[in-house]
């Protein structure tokens, strides 16, 4: 038996491995697909994407989402615009209102801080809490928020108005904050701040999404370290519903436009590694609109969720990458022997166990889901 295969056996038996041993397995996974990672059930969440503001105080080397207030594409949604989008989404069977936005723009843009002040808010997070509250009062959608690095008290406040939250860890490497690297001039991307936030979410019992970004200048060892850090947090708190394995895509006009995308073999090996490290502790998700390999190759490697897919709005973070047509996706997956079901932004486990979501959402959630915690067939939409 090859040394790497012996290691794989050891890992499958639940024995912990050294980082160098995971690196050996990573090399094996480039040319070998373990048969035990393939799920029978694949899920997605029917969502609408609301970029509450695209102003941001950070300047990630790969981002085209963030704008400066003086750019013509800078935009902050008013509450009536939010509710208009939500109304259309509801008519199309969406259940999740995903708020994704820039981080703390009020700290660097006085004109935006003034705009918030005129509306009666001291910060973007206060405005976000108000927006979620309005969505809860006027629709059947469940807010999920992804607003960057939050403090304990902000998360505690947000927990009352949104069903779940998320922040990408991206990577634990502090090297990526250095000059010329992806997170230069990005105070909110400091890995220690992100890890602290993920742990705080665990303490607050918030169903949580996180993930790593692959190909932003990190090395494979740092990827392994990132996955191990997430595993340690998940073993302690159990609140991480899903870990996204996202491939970097270079975009024109960004500092990283000339960086190479991760090679498909490397990316698939990273998915296998994530499944090996995290096992059944959480769900592995990969965005289907960014895929460079057939989607069933992702599934064979351990992905069992395709995240939020919207029938209404684009992926504002990756506007060049349209989401797959859901009817087509269902047909494709079923042709390859997978079941494809709709879930809410809160995964079944966190619905079945008490104490994960605020009581205010329980009525809506019970109406949507069946015994299995997935969306009832009568509400499912493809
Ligand atoms: S990726 Fe997020 S944090 Fe980074 S610049 Fe874009 S919006 Fe800001």
Q: How far, in Å, CA of 37 to CA of 304, rounded? A: 9
Say if ligand 1 is within 6 A of residue 347 CB: no
Beta strand spans in 1-68 (E) = 41-50
Say if ligand 1 is within 6 A of residue 317 CB: no
End-to-end CA distance of the chain: 45
Q: How far, in Å, CA of 64 to CA of 76, rounded? A: 16
Say if ligand 1 is within 6 A of residue 169 CB: no
pLDDT in tens, 207-224: 999 999 999 999 999 999
Instruction: Tell me the CA–centroid distance for residue 281 and ligand 1, in Å.
Output: 28
> pLDDT confidence of 1, banded at 50, 70, 90?
low
Say if ligand 1 is within 6 A of residue 102 CB: yes
Strand partners, 341: 43
Q: How far, in Å, CA of 347 to CA of 212, rounded? A: 20
Question: What is the radius of gyration, based on Cα positions, of the chain?
Answer: 20
101 Cα nearest atom in ligand 1: 7
- CA distances (Å), 238 to each of 353, 357, 373, in order? 12, 14, 18
Mean per-residue pLDDT for 305-310?
A: 95
Residue 85: pLDDT over 60? yes
Instruction: Tell me the CA–centroid distance for residue 156 and ligand 1, in Å.
Output: 23
Beta strand spans in 180-322 (E) = 208-214, 240-247, 283-285, 305-309
Mean per-residue pLDDT for 137-163?
A: 97
Residue whose Cα lies nearest atom 4 of ligand 1: it is 60
Can you give the pTM of this predicted structure? Answer: 0.97
Mean per-residue pLDDT for 158-185?
A: 98
Q: What is the 3-state secondary structure (H, E, C) of the chain?
A: CCHHHHHHHHHHCCCCCCHHHHHHHHHHHCCCCCHHHCCCEEEEEEEEEECCECECCCCCCCCCCCECCCCCCCCECCHHHHHHHHHHHHHCCCCEEEEECCCCHHHCCHHHHHHHHHHCCCCHHHHHHHHHHHHHHHCCCEEEEECCCCCHHHHHHHHCCCCEEECCCECCCHHHHCCCCCCCCCHHHCHHHHHHHHHHHHHCCCCEEEEEEECCCCCHHHHHHHHHHHHHHHHHHCCEEEEEEEECCCCCCCCCCCCCCCCHHHHHHHHHHHHHHHCCCCEEECCHHHCCCCHHHHHHCCCCEEEEECCCCCCCCCCCCCCCCHHHHHHHHHHCCCEEEEECCCCHHHHHCCCCCCHHHHHHHHHHECCCCCECCCCCCC
The domains found in the chain, sorted by start residue, are 33-368 (3.20.20.70)
Both tokens of 8, joined, read: 């794989």
> pLDDT confidence of 354, banded at 50, 70, 90?
very high
Mean per-residue pLDDT for 337-358?
A: 96
Residue 5: pLDDT over 90? no
Q: What is the mean pLDDT of the chain?
A: 95
Residue 15: pLDDT over 90? no
Residue whose Cα lies nearest atom 2 of ligand 1: it is 102
Q: How far, in Å, CA of 76 to CA of 101, rounded? A: 9
Say if ligand 1 is within 6 A of residue 58 CB: yes
Q: Looking at residue 10, what is its pLDDT? A: 87
Q: Looking at residue 35, what is its pLDDT? A: 80
Q: Looking at residue 288, what is its pLDDT? A: 94
Residue 11: pLDDT over 90? no
pLDDT in tens, 235-284: 999 999 999 999 999 999 999 999 999 999 999 999 999 999 999 999 99
């Amino acid at each position: 038996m090859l040394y790497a295969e012996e290691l794989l056996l050891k890992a499958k038996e639940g024995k912990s491995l050294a980082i160098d041993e995971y690196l050996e397995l990573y090399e094996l996974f480039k040319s070998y697909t373990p048969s035990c990672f393939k799920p029978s059930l694949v899920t997605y969440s029917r969502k609408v994407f609301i970029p509450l503001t695209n102003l941001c105080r950070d300047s990630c080397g790969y981002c085209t989402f963030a704008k400066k207030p003086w750019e013509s594409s800078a935009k902050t949604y008013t509450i009536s615009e939010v509710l208009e989008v939500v109304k259309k989404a509801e008519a199309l069977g969406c259940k999740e209102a995903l708020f994704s936005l820039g981080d703390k723009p009020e700290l660097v843009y006085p004109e935006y801080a003034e705009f918030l002040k005129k509306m009666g808010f001291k910060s973007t997070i206060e405005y976000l809490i108000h927006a979620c509250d309005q969505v809860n009062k006027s629709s059947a959608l469940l807010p999920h928020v992804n607003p960057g690095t939050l403090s304990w008290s902000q998360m505690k406040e947000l927990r009352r108005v949104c069903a779940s939250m998320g922040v990408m860890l991206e990577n634990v490497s502090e090297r990526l904050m250095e000059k010329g690297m992806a997170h230069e001039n990005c105070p909110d991307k400091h890995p220690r701040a992100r890890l602290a936030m993920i742990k705080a979410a665990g303490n607050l019992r918030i169903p949580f999404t996180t993930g790593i970004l692959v190909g932003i200048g990190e090395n494979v060892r740092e990827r392994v370290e990132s996955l191990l850090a997430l595993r340690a947090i998940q073993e302690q708190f159990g609140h991480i519903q899903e870990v996204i394995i996202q491939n970097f895509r270079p975009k024109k006009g960004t500092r990283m436009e000339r960086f190479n995308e991760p090679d498909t073999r490397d990316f698939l090996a990273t998915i296998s590694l994530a499944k090996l490290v995290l096992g059944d502790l959480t769900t592995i998700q990969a965005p289907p609109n960014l895929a460079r390999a057939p989607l069933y190759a992702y599934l064979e490697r351990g992905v069992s969720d395709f995240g939020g897919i919207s029938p209404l709005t684009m992926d504002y973070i990756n506007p060049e990458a349209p989401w797959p047509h859901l009817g087509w996706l269902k047909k494709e997956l079923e042709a390859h022997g997978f079941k494809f079901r709709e879930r809410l932004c809160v995964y079944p486990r966190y619905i079945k166990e008490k104490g994960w979501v605020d009581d205010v959402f329980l009525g809506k959630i019970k109406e949507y889901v069946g015994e299995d915690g997935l969306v009832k067939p009568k509400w499912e939409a493809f």
